[in-house]
Structure 1
């Protein structure tokens, strides 16, 4: 992934990002410390937000979306979707999440929400996506796409070196 542009963010922009991340995390000041160097790396596909050269989030369609590396450190307790073991091999190759593979989902999820997909055994994040149906429908549906996969283990964002 080629970086086209990279620059440090102003305090005002950092504040905006913190506000967007507060939707998912209570410990935003730990994620983006006051003395942290916050940068944006612009690539052809994404704007990646870095804190001390670590990718913590990316922007897609004006939404700030946490990276899996951040989720491994601090997993929110909302917007979680649990998938069965059989779905993992497809998800880590970039496939969208299909409803039959979903074991459980936060019923407060609404269509277009950012969601975090975890495996049923270890509850480790596998991918981040956008909900294509609400949480209740995800649990009940037996066919169709439930989540658009935006970022998964092993993709360009996962492998990004700051």
Structure 2
């Protein structure tokens, strides 16, 4: 999604009204319930939230010159830098060591990368279309954020094909984007 993202991809930049900011906060909390205790740290009351409208109907929400989350169509997706600040607030999957170089080049995640030794799926079943954080075996920080194409139960049973569509990853255009 952000493989070749640059400042030229931003079309408009505007400040959000306080009523829209409140709606954004409540939508973020409804999508990610664990963020409720820290939502005022993520979107501080005294800070101005900016909206950047970009190519392909992507919207970036920026607080204090840092992208906090983005949206394509309806789903709010946390930026990787936010995930690094609050790693335990989002559903997390772990890929094995062999998948790391592919994920860091923007590839989607395949089922065997999660089900092989070193890969890890959560105990609770996650439905498809869930936004998840992708960690790597033996690494401390997340390397990508993606959306499940199939449920975690299907990943375990089918164990074939693409299971997570990559949204953003370490070193992509969003990671290197400077306001």
TM range (shorter): over 0.9
Q: Paired residue for 1:38, among 44, 49, 53?
A: 49
Distance 1:31 1:110 in 2: 26
More helix by share: 2
* Aligned residues of 1:131 and 1:146 also touching (Cα < 8 A): yes
Q: Paired residue for 1:11, among 14, 18, 27?
A: 18
Residue 48 of structure 1: aligned partner: 60
Residue 98 of structure 1: aligned partner: 110
Distance 1:61 1:33 in 2: 24
RMSD: 1.5
Aligned length: 162
Residue 3 of structure 2: aligned partner: none
Residue 67 of structure 1: aligned partner: 79
Deviates more, 1:16-25 or 1:113-122: 16-25
Residue 58 of structure 1: aligned partner: 70
Q: Paired residue for 1:128, among 145, 161, 164?
A: 145
More strand by share: 1
Distance 1:4 1:152 in 2: 23
- TM-score, normalization by structure 1: 0.92
Bigger Rg, structure 1 or 2: 2
Distance 1:21 1:84 in 2: 30
- TM-score, normalization by structure 2: 0.84
Structure 1 segments unaligned to the other structure (5+ residues): none
Q: Secondary structure at the match of 1:156?
A: coil
**Following TM superposition, by how much is the alpha carbon of 1:120 offset from its aligned partner in structure 2, in angstroms?**
2.1
Q: Paired residue for 2:160, among 128, 140, 143?
A: 143
* Aligned residues of 1:17 and 1:64 also touching (Cα < 8 A): no
